[in-house]
A and B are shown apart, each in its own frame.
Chain A
Amino acid sequence: MPVKTAIVGVGQTDYRFKRTDVTIQELAVEASLKALEHAGMTMGDIDAIVLGIAPDALLGINAVDRWIGEALGVAPRPLLRVNTGGTTGAAAAQAGYAHVASGMARRVLVVAADKVSESPDAQWVLNTAMDPIYERSVALNAINMCSFQAVRQMDQYKVTERQLASVAVRSRKHAQLNPHAHLRAPITLDDVLSSRYVCWPLKLLDCCPRSSGACAVIMAAEPVVRANHSRAAWIRGMGATSNTIYMGDKMGPGRDVDHADWDELAMAAARAYKQAGITDPARQIDVAEIYAPFTCTEIAAVEALGFAKKGSGGLMSEQGMFDMNGAIPVNPSGGVLSANPISATALARIAEAALQVMGDAGPRQVPGAHQAVATGIGGTLQFHTCMVLASDA
């Protein structure tokens, strides 16, 4: 039986375009100190560190774990660096959870940081993360890989650009409640619909920003939690999947999942829900923090998580089901559309979900949130994670 594990501390820096006052080392330490303070711990209490850093080329520092690892303290404890692209922060949390759940560590620091604005153009860097033989030289990047999804959603489910825009408007509305969010200015449907096309059918305001910032969480084993912590976000379930890098495999007649959908997230969620005893997610989950860097991806996610029937996520969004006062508030933090410090983004979803069930989410608190779900996505929409957190074990 795994050791029951909870998040007992959360630390986030503000997410901003640039942080010229700190190095990436100092940024990671800033979030770590905040998480330790929230948990009432010091670095000396930590048995192991998991560091989530996505491709080195975004920072332009090769094997950057050497530099950041040093700043996280010189001590006889393991440091593990994790990288699965966008999913990095959630994969780091998964590794931290495994440390505690296995009994190999009692208190683990999971930290992720990024300064995406220091690379000249993130899409150039992300193009280099494509298959180098068949796909890199046809100019694929992170935006157009999601455009392909939006095109298939529009074709199969008649998703409209207005439905996509509703996701952006709601995210920005929620971001106004979150002082950490990078983009907080309110936007209207017309603002989104009249913004310029970046990669058809995605327009500028369908897309996330590129942000700098860091996020950290402290995980602890049940005996530690019971003895020291009145509030905790218990990890009730964790699922993850890995699929092909080739998006075309999810489009042709031989496909087993469709690029329009996130069936892989549904599989990860099914595993997490089973562990958590969730049989009716739309009723049993009070709030969701979804890794959705583009409007279309959130539509795929709410369907995969069981909040809306396949093909109806866009309509449900437009009708307000995922607003703060809707049936299932989605991304009270403003989500990835309001801040995307790539390495830290998936961990921020977990951190925000943890704050919700701990009752510590401040102005963005969903009243009475007891159970939350957090997702991660990375690669060419190929790595998915799903974590269920709850206020009781």
Chain B
Amino acid sequence: MGQDERVEAPLIHSGEWNIHYDYAVGETATRFFSRLRDEGKIAGKRCPECKAVLLPPRAYCERCFVKTEEWVDVGPEGTIEAFTIVYEPFDGLPQPPYAVAYVTLDGASTAMANFVRGLDLSVPEVAARELAVGKRVEAVFIDARKGTITDFHYRLK
């Protein structure tokens, strides 16, 4: 074959990943989610050295690199530390608009992310003023809890 001058449309082969996994969440998250599901309570773990109440709870404090032992109930009220309102549709993610906030639940040293519901998000500037940093929220527990993080969400006080 000599010089080939043909121009061909690029050929595309399609592929897909759809793989099921069973993640063991470990003893610490099992305790957290069981209490969330069965009692509607949110609990963090206290580091014996720096005394921080870590939420999400961790088996080890990554700053002090020691095992945590003590469980501490936090919330259900808390303070918004940061938020976003998503207006763009993304494949595989919820239909917009939806709001997500990091909230420091009362008694915790760290903030935890979850959806904020019960708020009109149709006008971005108006919704963003409602969700300002420093605003108070409460954790609302759904009835049909399954032991996952979306067993609760935040609502403005």
Contact = CB atoms under 8 A, between A and B. Distances in A.
Contact of B93 (A141, A149, A198, A251): A141
A67 interface: no
Interface in A112-160: 120-121, 123-124, 127, 131-135, 137-141, 143-144, 147-149, 151-152, 155
A248 B133 contact: no
Contact of B87 (A141, A152, A196, A256): A196
Contacts of B148: 137
Interface in B6-23: 10, 12, 15, 17, 23
8 contacts: A137-B149, A148-B82, A149-B82, A152-B133, A200-B84, A254-B52, A254-B110, A255-B110
A57 B17 contact: yes
Contact of B132 (A120, A147, A155, A249): A155
Contact of B84 (A57, A155, A199): A199
Interface residues of B, number: 49
A139 B81 CA distance: 17
A138 to B, nearest CB: 5
Contacts of A199: 84-88
- Sorted nearest first, the 4 A-B pairs with minimum C-beta distance are A254-B109, A248-B111, A20-B10, A121-B91
A123 B90 contact: yes
Interface of B: 10, 12, 15, 17, 23, 25, 29, 50, 52-56, 62-63, 81-88, 90-94, 98, 100, 102, 104, 108-115, 124, 127-128, 132-134, 148-150
Contacts of B29: 133-134
A57 B100 CA distance: 25
Contacts of A246: 56, 110
Contact of B100 (A120, A123, A140, A198): A140
Contacts of A57: 17
Given A137-B150, A151-B83, A254-B109, 16 more contacts: A123-B91, A134-B113, A134-B149, A138-B113, A139-B100, A140-B113, A148-B82, A149-B82, A151-B133, A155-B132, A196-B88, A199-B86, A200-B85, A248-B55, A252-B109, A256-B63
